[in-house]
Structure 1
Amino acid sequence: MALFLTLITVFCATFATGSDLKTSYEFWDEVVSHHISPGHLEGISVNVVDYESIRSDENFYKYLIVIRDVDTKNFTRSELYAFFMNVYNAFAIKMILDHSCDNCTPIKSIRDISSLLSPVWTKTAGYAAGKSWSLDEVENYLRNPKPFQEDPRLHACIVCASISCPNVLMGAFEPSTVDEQMTSQMETFLKNTKKGLAMDKSSKTVHLSSIFNWFSGDFIRHAGSVKDFIMQYAPADVVSYLNNTDVDFKYFSYDWNLNGQVTCNCTI
């Protein structure tokens, strides 16, 4: 917190309007490219987040400062998706760092931050584009990004700090490349047979991430059905099988444990 307050003092003059959008991408790219790495947690392939190294990286706090007052009013569709998907992922990490202790014990899941009357998704997660946001608010804005239409590939790009979530991109989403990045994220997610998609030919069953169940309406509106959507991005052998076989769709249980460990420096 002391580092964050110091950086606010240093940067407020330089980024008084928060208009340096390019700088925000550079700061976030520095964070995710240095503190996230491929690995496995609980037998699942995950881009593992090193929360504690992010906690001590001034670039993380610089990013949080720069995005506070960015003017998004005239954003293109690509700018909107790149900016707010980065924001969501940063705010999810910030929520873990801000609430890493539960009764002086490190939290094991983002859902540990919830209380009876205040789910973690509705708590204030951070400030961007001149206002405060919860994780739900960022996600819902991306799902209804007026005046643009929703791009349901976003569901493979925003990461709620959990093992069963799609992997955090090890780089910033940027407007010039966001379309390719979103496609790559969805393709990578559907290649992950432990949390994205897995075929069981013996029972003619395809297991999908629960994300395709929870947000089925988004995929149906875009492609006509969940099946038609995933066939645009699934591996070739899956597409061939779905084209020639009637299958049942089932959904993986969701592993909400953190996609990296946090420590708890706490005294009672």
Structure 2
Amino acid sequence: MKILIPSLLLLFSFNTFAAPKSELWDYWDVSNEKNATTISHQYWQQTLDKYLINKGEFTLFDYANVTDADERTLNSYLRQMSRIDPREYKKAEQYAYWANLYNAITVKIILDNYPIKSITKLGGLFSFGPWDEEVVIVTGKILTLNDIEHRILRPIWNDPRTHYAVNCASLGCPNLQPKAFTARNSDKLLDKAATEFINSNKGVLIQEDKVQLSSIYDWFAVDFGDHQQLFEHLKKYRPELKPFKGDIRYNYDWSLNKQ
């Protein structure tokens, strides 16, 4: 029984996982397009430079070797971000702010709980990961990772490439980018991330007459459109991709993206 109960709980978690809907939190849908000030993501960039490692089609994070000093640098970055009111900035500056904040918080969560095999092991007893945990306070508002992704990024920008921007610390996820997002580089960085993912086996795997796609395209089908629209999106970043009318399989690897 001691073995059976955890197994049943794990099965329950995986089988009942459902992606949150995109639901706008109106409070954050405000900007000041006249503000030319930029937000510095230097500390986050320093973290990426030191601990992100390219390995085949993956970028892995070297959680095991993060020093106490560098963890303090990451914490300083998160404190800086929490003191900012992103609504006072341009929309382009806001996008970079939220994408970087999401990714930096995710890395901190893993570091706080390392070693673990998967981010899905975190959260409460019946939780599938930490995405509904309260993780940051911005302008007095308590936020979860799900708030950032599904109540801010997705509904405000309505850009399916957001799914290539936020990283869930898993091998199946689009890679954590080696460059921090900025207002100036976000569009190119999103295209780069989309190209890498769609041209990887974890994004789109073609085997003779069979196609396996990342479960992202199933969970968030509403963002990518119907079958035809989805393949138009994929073909934009993988031009040689031919139309496919057969059955599509979906797969996702929740193993930790560790070095």
- If the TM-score is normalised by the length of the shorter chain, which range does it land in? 0.7 to 0.9
Post-superposition offset of 1:118? 4.2
TM score, norm. by length of structure 2: 0.77
> Would the aligned equivalents of 2:218 and 2:250 in 1 still touch at CA under 8 Å?
no
Q: Distance in 1 between matches of 2:95 and 2:223?
A: 16
Residue 172 of structure 2 contacts residue 252 of structure 2 at CA under 8 Å; is this kept in 1? yes
Aligned to 2:220: 215
Match of 2:230 among 221, 226, 230: 226
The secondary structure found in structure 2 opposite 1:144 is: helix
Q: Aligned match of 1:70 in 57, 65, 84?
A: 84
Structure 2 unaligned residues grouped into runs of 5+: 1-36
Q: Deviations over 1:49-98 (max 9, x none)?
A: 01134453032122111101211113333212211111111111111122
Q: Where does residue 198 of structure 1 map in the other structure?
A: 205
Percent identity between matched residues is 29
Q: Which runs of 4+ in 1 moved over 6 A?
A: none
| 1:111 lines up with 2:111 in the alignment | no
What secondary structure does 1:121 align onto? coil
Q: Give, in whole Å, the separation in 2 of the partners of 1:32 and 1:174.
A: 14
TM-score, length basis structure 1 = 0.75
Match of 1:5 in 2: none
Question: 2:154 pairs with 129, 143, 146, which one?
Answer: 143
Corresponding letter in the other structure for 1:22:
I
- Distance (Å, rounded) in 1 between the aligned partners of 2:168 and 2:255: 10
After superposition, the Cα gap between the structure-2 partners of 1:237 and 1:161, relative to the gap in structure 1 and judged at 3 Å, is: same
Deviation, 1:130, is 4.4
| 1:93-104 equivalent positions in 2, closer than 5 A | 93-100=107-114
Kindly provide the CA deviation profile for residues 173-212 of structure 1, in whole angstroms up to 9, marking residues without a partner as x. 110111011011001111112x011222x32x32211101
How many angstroms does 1:128 deviate by? 4.0
1:52 equivalenced with 2:69 (yes/no): no
Cα pair distance change 1:97/1:227, threshold 3 Å: same
Contact 2:197-2:203 within 8 A present in 1 as well: yes
Q: Is the 8 A contact 2:74 2:108 kept in 1?
A: no
The Cα shift of 1:232 comes to 1.8
**Counterpart selection for 1:253 from 234, 251, 257:** 251
RMSD after superposition: 2.2
Residues paired across the two proteins, number: 219
- Answer yes or no: is the 8 Å Cα contact 1:94–1:125 preserved in 2: no
Q: 1:118 to 1:79 in 2, by over 3 A?
A: same
Q: 1: CA distance between counterparts of 2:141 and 2:236?
A: 36
